[in-house]
Amino acid sequence: MKEEKTVLIVEDVAIMRKMISNYLKKIGIENILEAEDGLIALKMLKSNKIDAILLDIIMPNMDGIQLLKSIRNNDVLKDLPVIIISSDTSKKTKEKINALGVCDYINKPFTEEEIIAKLKKYL
């Protein structure tokens, strides 16, 4: 039997989480967790086996860059595939997240095909 993969969507906009979740369900990913900020995501990472994260950068409480730093500094989570989804396309931001070991980057607005193709590379 094929192992079920679990994807964590970390995005502060509920409609975006729902849209991405629907895309993932179309390719057979049923184990989908959602968090509206980095603090909630961090709690989920401690209590669930996550196979990949789709992570927004700009969020309240704990943003995506702070969460990514926490993940990369954790021995258990440091190799977890993290794909950034953001409207911040500045060179400075991309350099910062690349230095933290992000796997990939998707610009907003994105297509269903982009989300699926990038995620399939890491699952």
Give the model's confidence band at 2: pLDDT under 50 very low, under 70 low, under 90 confident, else very high.
low
Higher-pLDDT residue of 32, 90:
32
Percent of the chain topping pLDDT 70:
98
pTM (2 d.p.):
0.94
Is 91 among the domain residues?
Answer: yes
- Cβ–Cβ under 8 Å, residues 50 and 80: yes
Is 61 among the domain residues?
Answer: yes
State which residues form the domain around 61: 6-122
Concatenating the DSSP letter of every residue in 26-94 gives HTT--EEEEESSHHHHHHHHHHS--SEEEEES--SSS-HHHHHHHHHT-TTTTT--EEEEES---HHHH
Give the model's confidence band at 76: pLDDT under 50 very low, under 70 low, under 90 confident, else very high.
very high
Is 26 among the domain residues?
Answer: yes
Is 33 among the domain residues?
Answer: yes
Is 96 among the domain residues?
Answer: yes
Count: domains in the chain: 1
Query: In CATH, what number is assigned to the domain containing residue 95?
Result: 3.40.50.2300
Residue 96 burial (CB < 10 Å; 0-12/13-18/19+)?
Answer: middle
Is 1 among the domain residues?
Answer: no
